Structure 1
Amino acid sequence: MTLLWDADPTASDRYSFALGADIVRFDNLATATRALQEYVNDPLLIIGPEVDMQSACDLSDFARVERPEMGVVLMRRRLDVTVLAQALRSGIREVIPADDLTALADAARRSRELSSKVAGHVGDAAVTEGRVVTVFSAKGGVGKTTFSTNLGAYLASKGSKVLLMDLDLAFGDVAISLQLLPQNSMSDLIAMSGHLDAQGLASIVTRHESGLDVAAAPSEPSDADRIPGALVGEALRVARRAYDYVVVDTPPAFTEHVLAAFDVSDLLILIATLDIPAVKNLRLSLDTLDLLGSPKESRVVVLNRSDAKVGLRAEDVVAAIRQDIAITVPSSAAVPASINRGVPIVLDEPRHAVSVALRELADRFIRVQPAAGSPGSKADEPKRSERWSLTRGSKR
Structure 2
Amino acid sequence: MTLLWDADRGAADRYNYAVGGDINRHDSSVALMRDLEDSPRENLVIIGPDIDMQSACDLSEAVRVHRAEVGVLLLRRRLDVSLLGQALRAGVREVLTADDLTGLADAVRRSRELSQKMAGQHDQAVQDGKVITVFSAKGGVGKTTFSTNLSAYLASTGARVLVVDLDLAFGDVGISLQMLPQNSIIDLVQMAGHLDEQGLQQIVTHHESGLDAACAPAEPSDADRIPGTIIAELLKVAKRSYDFIVVDTPPAFTEHVLAAFDNSDLLVLIATLDIPAVKNLRLTLDTLDLLGSPKEDRVVVLNRSDAKVGLRSEDVVAVIKQDIAVMVPNSQAVPASVNRGVPIVLDEPKHPVSIAMRELADQFLRPVAGDATRAEGRERRGSDESTRRRILSWGGRR
Length-normalised TM-score, structure 2: 0.65
Counterpart in 2 of 1:53? none
Instruction: Summarize the alignment of residues 86-235 of structure 1 with structure 2, pairs less than 5 Å apart.
Output: 122-123=120-121, 125-128=123-126, 129-235=128-234
Measured against aligned partners, the alpha-carbon deviations of 1:225-283 in whole angstroms (never above 9, x if no partner) come to: 00000000000000011101000000000000000000000000000000000000000
State whether residues 259 and 391 of structure 1, in contact with CA within 8 Å, keep that contact through their aligned partners in structure 2: no
Counterpart in 1 of 2:346? 347
3-state DSSP of counterpart to 1:241: coil
Distance 1:389 1:119, change over 3 A: farther
Distance 1:192 1:327, change over 3 A: same
1:276 equivalenced with 2:271 (yes/no): no
Counterpart in 2 of 1:295? 294
Q: Please, which of 360, 377, 383 is the counterpart of residue 388 of structure 1?
A: 383
Distance 1:383 1:335, change over 3 A: closer
Once residues 304 and 391 of structure 1 are traced to their aligned partners in structure 2, the CA distance between those partners, rounded to angstroms, is 34
3-state DSSP of counterpart to 1:290: helix
Instruction: Summarize the alignment of residues 293-372 of structure 1 with structure 2, pairs less than 5 Å apart.
Output: 293-369=292-368
2:212 partner letter: D
Measured against aligned partners, the alpha-carbon deviations of 1:324-355 in whole angstroms (never above 9, x if no partner) come to: 10000000000000000000000000000000
Identity of aligned residues (%): 70
Distance 1:382 1:224, change over 3 A: closer
Distance 1:371 1:239, change over 3 A: closer
Counterpart in 2 of 1:378? 374
CA deviation after TM superposition for structure 1 residue 168, in Å: 0.1
Once residues 177 and 353 of structure 1 are traced to their aligned partners in structure 2, the CA distance between those partners, rounded to angstroms, is 20
Distance 1:300 1:121, change over 3 A: closer
Once residues 145 and 163 of structure 2 are traced to their aligned partners in structure 1, the CA distance between those partners, rounded to angstroms, is 12
Cα RMSD, aligned residues only = 2.3
Once residues 308 and 334 of structure 1 are traced to their aligned partners in structure 2, the CA distance between those partners, rounded to angstroms, is 15
Distance 1:343 1:229, change over 3 A: same
Once residues 191 and 324 of structure 1 are traced to their aligned partners in structure 2, the CA distance between those partners, rounded to angstroms, is 43
CA deviation after TM superposition for structure 1 residue 368, in Å: 1.9
Distance 1:377 1:144, change over 3 A: farther
Structure 1, unaligned runs of 5 or more: 1-117
Counterpart in 2 of 1:267? 266
Distance 1:249 1:125, change over 3 A: closer
1:237 equivalenced with 2:236 (yes/no): yes
Counterpart in 2 of 1:28? none
Once residues 378 and 223 of structure 2 are traced to their aligned partners in structure 1, the CA distance between those partners, rounded to angstroms, is 33
Distance 1:364 1:124, change over 3 A: closer
CA deviation after TM superposition for structure 1 residue 214, in Å: 0.6
Measured against aligned partners, the alpha-carbon deviations of 1:13-64 in whole angstroms (never above 9, x if no partner) come to: xxxxxxxxxxxxxxxxxxxxxxxxxxxxxxxxxxxxxxxxxxxxxxxxxxxx
Measured against aligned partners, the alpha-carbon deviations of 1:291-338 in whole angstroms (never above 9, x if no partner) come to: 110000100000000000000000000000111100000000000000
Distance 1:343 1:389, change over 3 A: farther
Once residues 386 and 359 of structure 2 are traced to their aligned partners in structure 1, the CA distance between those partners, rounded to angstroms, is 31
Counterpart in 1 of 2:251? 252
Once residues 380 and 238 of structure 1 are traced to their aligned partners in structure 2, the CA distance between those partners, rounded to angstroms, is 18
CA deviation after TM superposition for structure 1 residue 391, in Å: 9.4
Distance 1:154 1:133, change over 3 A: same
Distance 1:131 1:389, change over 3 A: farther
Measured against aligned partners, the alpha-carbon deviations of 1:56-75 in whole angstroms (never above 9, x if no partner) come to: xxxxxxxxxxxxxxxxxxxx
3-state DSSP of counterpart to 1:337: helix
CA deviation after TM superposition for structure 1 residue 123, in Å: 4.1
State whether residues 161 and 211 of structure 2, in contact with CA within 8 Å, keep that contact through their aligned partners in structure 1: yes
CA deviation after TM superposition for structure 1 residue 176, in Å: 0.4
Length-normalised TM-score, structure 1: 0.66
Measured against aligned partners, the alpha-carbon deviations of 1:166-218 in whole angstroms (never above 9, x if no partner) come to: 00000000000001110000000011000000000000011111011011000
Once residues 391 and 232 of structure 1 are traced to their aligned partners in structure 2, the CA distance between those partners, rounded to angstroms, is 21
3-state DSSP of counterpart to 2:163: strand
Counterpart in 2 of 1:60? none
1:272 partner letter: A
2:331 partner letter: S
Structure 2, unaligned runs of 5 or more: 1-115, 390-398
3-state DSSP of counterpart to 1:302: strand
3-state DSSP of counterpart to 1:362: helix
